[in-house]
Structure 1
Amino acid sequence: MPDLPTSKPVLAGKSVLQGETIRLEALPEGHLLQVMGATTSEELAAHLAAAGFEDSSVRPAGYRQWFIAGSERLAGSQERALADALAGRAFISDQSHGRIRIRISGSSAARMLNRGTAVDLHLANFPEGSSAMTLFGHISVQLTRLGMEDFELTVLRSFAESLYEELETLVVSQGAGIWRNS
């Protein structure tokens, strides 16, 4: 009987690209749960704490849809505890195997991202915690502002390498002083 395929991080060979005003890095393939139903971001955040999701964040993804993202792999009991807490109001779909998260940070991050998306990333229009489903070039992403100069792009696994290479090209075009960290 053939061996089952093994999971390999899709961006495992990509190094961190960094300069004085920009940093590009692939994030760990932790967890990404899609929640759909009649709940709120505040209710989800409260249930996350009760279910042991210490370092997870809630991101709006459309009408009555959210992503719960974090860098750690989940125990089955954590996902079940969240599903039980939301029973009758919302459903959970584990998207961890199918989506990749990429972080872009630094004072040039918003300016660089504006070259690939139509989302207005000015802090007044897209404050910390904001999230939008959009295109970056031709690739569909969820764009989230994590901090004043800190963004995360969540992309389908099959497009992750192409998106990362496009972002690398944009980072390098920012100018001198760019280096790679392994």
Structure 2
Amino acid sequence: MHHVDKTLQNLSSTAVQLRENALLGHLVLRGDKSSGLGVALERVTGLSLPDVLLSTVKGEFVIRWVSPDEWLLTLPIEQAFTIECALRAEMTGHFAIVNVSGGQTILLLSGSQALNVLKKSTPYDVHECNFPIGKVVTSVFAKTQALLRRCDERQWELVVRRSFADYLWLWLSEAGREYGVTLS
């Protein structure tokens, strides 16, 4: 998935950058506290389960709250199977771990005007007062949906279904055109 429009790349401004963070492992974790999910996650990855609407980061591992009993863990793809097996060995009770690596990708939107591109793309209030660093929400994005996470002051992550990745890439390319979007 890469649509590179050379006219967009030649613009001098880099107020918005768009790139794909491809080839990550994506593990959906489902369970409640009695399943030992939090304890298992901490033992295996060193990450703690984030609170509602938040994320936790440790190196290349990121865990995002998705719903009251669901989290998304992304990690280097070469470690996904090993981590999945280790989590299964640590957990008890009712839980689910599903590897959805082939069905999702992450688009990174960054730069001084990234927030303005987001405002054009989602009805969710992404203003920094409502969306601090580390916050995660699932929202309508263009004519599909995305799991949005604010990584830092100027960088946003969009976890999207791979089947909609081209559409969102083109959407963000067009939405960022007025800011001189750089594609990589």
Q: Do the structures match in fold with TM over 0.5? A: yes
In the TM superposition, what is the alpha-carbon distance from 1:74 to its structure 2 partner? 2.5
Taking CA–CA contacts closer than 8 Å with sequence separation of 6 or more, which of the two structures ends up with the larger relative contact order?
Answer: 2
4+ long deviations beyond 3 Å? 13-19, 39-45, 178-181
* Counterpart position of 2:15: 21
Alignment of 1:1-182 (within 5 A): 11=1, 13-15=2-4, 19-39=13-33, 43=39, 46-49=42-45, 55-88=60-93, 90-174=95-179, 176=180, 178-181=181-184
2:60 partner amino acid? D
Give the distance between the partners of 2:38 and 2:90, measured in 1 at CA.
14
Report the TM-score, using the length of structure 2 for normalisation.
0.79
Structure 1 unaligned regions, length at least 5: 1-10
2:15 partner amino acid? T
Report the TM-score, using the length of structure 1 for normalisation.
0.79
Give the distance between the partners of 1:147 and 1:44, measured in 2 at CA.
28
| Matched residues, number | 167
Give the distance between the partners of 1:14 and 1:44, measured in 2 at CA.
40
Structure 2 unaligned regions, length at least 5: 48-57
1:72 partner amino acid? I
Q: What is the RMSD computed on CA atoms of the aligned residues?
A: 2.7
For 1:93-127, what per-residue CA distance to the aligned partner results, in whole angstroms no more than 9, with x for missing partners?
11101011100011111111011101111222111
